[in-house]
Every structure is written in structure tokens, then in C-alpha cells.
């Protein structure tokens, strides 16, 4: 999946209308673009929804912005891009890079903001793919647990072998046009003590 084809959400935290417009020009394929002018407003916004990318332009009206960036990095899977004046760049890069926060100095060279956003969006694509794979694995493990429980009940209640119980659940699922998990759940509901 290319970065421009993905639908991501972004939060831009800046008091500067000029920087807000520059950042927005670098965005392609973002489903949601929210804007806040202070760290406190951004924190409230983050409590209400999740974002794939959060761009913070320092300094903010109520704090520098590095504390906000650290909070986000520690408490979410959002990618964070911190834009800072050149005189703070080295200090903030040193303290934030190990937390997975990308720091860019302003004024930035042509194209560097766009490349940073593309990089972080690509990273989010990978995170989403891993989350999806993890969810699929968890669903399969849950199905195995339920089917195993149904097999145990068939062995106990119907004196079947494990192979017979396995085939019985498969046949029941096929006959009723349901998944093996659903067939196992029906057996558990029928024979499990309440």
C-alpha cells in the first residue's frame, strides 16, 4: 500500500497559521485532519480519539511541546513529528529520538517535511498491518480454545474419542452452514454446566 493511498488521521498542533498551511500542503491521503493551537487542547483532543500522526510545532502557547510529544509516545501508537526552532534542535533530538519521536528543525529544507510525513505514515501502515495480524492470531487462538472445550465435553458426555469429537464438530458445522467455532459454541451452550 502506498502512503498516498492510505487513509490516516492526523492532528496538527501549532499556533502558527503559516506552519499549519505548510503542513497541510505536505499531506496526501489523510482521512481526518484536526488542528489544535495548544498542548492542553491537543491533550483533550487525544482523549477523544486516536491519531496515526501528530505534528507538533514548538514552542506552543502553553508549553514547549516536548512534554506533549513524550506523553503521546508513551501512551499511544501514534507517530510523532516535532518541529522545532533550530536552536533547540540538538537538545530535543537528543532527548526525544530514543522515544521514537522524529524531530525536524525549522526552517526546513524543501521536501524534508514531506519526506518526514511520508516516512511516519509508512511506519503507521506497518503498525496497522501488525495489529491486524495480531488480531487474526488472537481470533484463531480463541477459536481453538472454544473448539477444544467442545471436544472435551463430547469426550465426557458422549464417550467419543478426540478424533471422533473433532469430526463431529466439523460435520455439525458443515450440516448447519456455520463455522466450527459457532458449532462448538452451540455444543458448549447445550452441555456445559451453568
Each as own residue / partner, the long-range contacts of residues 18-25 (CB below 8 Å, 24 or more positions apart, any chain) are: 19/57, 19/83, 19/106, 22/113, 23/55, 23/57, 23/113, 23/117
Mean pLDDT of the chain: 87
pLDDT digits (tens, 9 = 90+) for 103-137: 999 887 777 888 888 888 888 888 888 888 888 88
Task: State the average pLDDT over residues 8-23.
Answer: 85
Give the model's pLDDT for residue 95. 92
Give the model's pLDDT for residue 170. 92
User: Above 90 in pLDDT, residue 83?
Assistant: yes
- Residue 181's pLDDT band, with cuts at 50, 70 and 90, is very high
User: Above 50 in pLDDT, residue 17?
Assistant: yes
For 32, how many CA atoms within 13 A lie in the half-sphere containing its CB? 12
Give the model's pLDDT for residue 19. 80
- Residue 3's pLDDT band, with cuts at 50, 70 and 90, is very low
User: Above 90 in pLDDT, residue 9?
Assistant: no
User: Above 50 in pLDDT, residue 5?
Assistant: no
Nearest in space to 35 (alpha carbons), one of 9, 4, 72 = 9
Spell out the alpha helix ranges (H) of the chain: 17-25, 39-48, 66-75, 86-96, 112-158, 162-176, 180-191
User: Above 60 in pLDDT, residue 51?
Assistant: yes
pLDDT over 70 percentage in the chain: 94
Global pTM exceeds 0.75: no
Task: State the average pLDDT over residues 140-160.
Answer: 92
Amino acid at each position: 500500500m502506498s502512503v498516498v493511498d492510505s487513509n490516516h488521521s492526523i492532528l496538527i498542533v501549532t499556533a502558527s497559521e503559516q506552519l499549519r498551511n505548510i503542513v497541510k500542503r505536505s499531506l496526501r491521503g489523510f482521512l481526518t485532519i484536526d488542528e489544535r493551537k495548544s498542548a492542553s487542547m491537543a491533550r483533550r483532543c487525544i482523549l477523544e480519539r486516536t491519531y496515526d500522526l501528530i505534528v507538533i510545532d514548538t514552542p506552543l502557547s502553553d508549553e514547549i511541546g516536548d512534554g506533549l510529544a513524550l506523553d503521546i509516545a508513551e501512551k499511544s501508537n501514534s507517530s510523532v513529528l516535532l518541529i522545532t526552532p533550530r536552536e533547540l534542535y540538538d537538545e530535543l533530538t537528543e532527548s526525544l529520538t530514543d522515544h521514537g519521536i522524529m524531530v525536524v528543525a525549522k526552517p526546513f529544507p524543501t521536501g524534508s517535511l514531506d519526506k518526514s510525513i511520508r516516512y511516519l505514515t509508512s511506519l503507521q501502515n506497518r503498525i496497522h498491518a501488525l495489529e491486524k495480524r495480531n488480531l487474526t492470531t488472537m481470533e484463531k487462538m480463541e477459536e481453538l480454545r472454544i473448539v477444544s472445550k467442545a471436544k472435551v465435553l463430547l469426550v465426557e458426555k458422549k464417550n467419543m474419542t478426540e478424533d471422533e469429537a473433532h469430526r463431529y464438530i466439523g460435520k455439525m458445522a458443515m450440516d448447519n452452514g456455520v463455522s466450527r467455532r459457532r458449532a462448538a459454541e452451540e455444543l458448549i451452550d447445550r452441555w456445559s454446566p451453568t
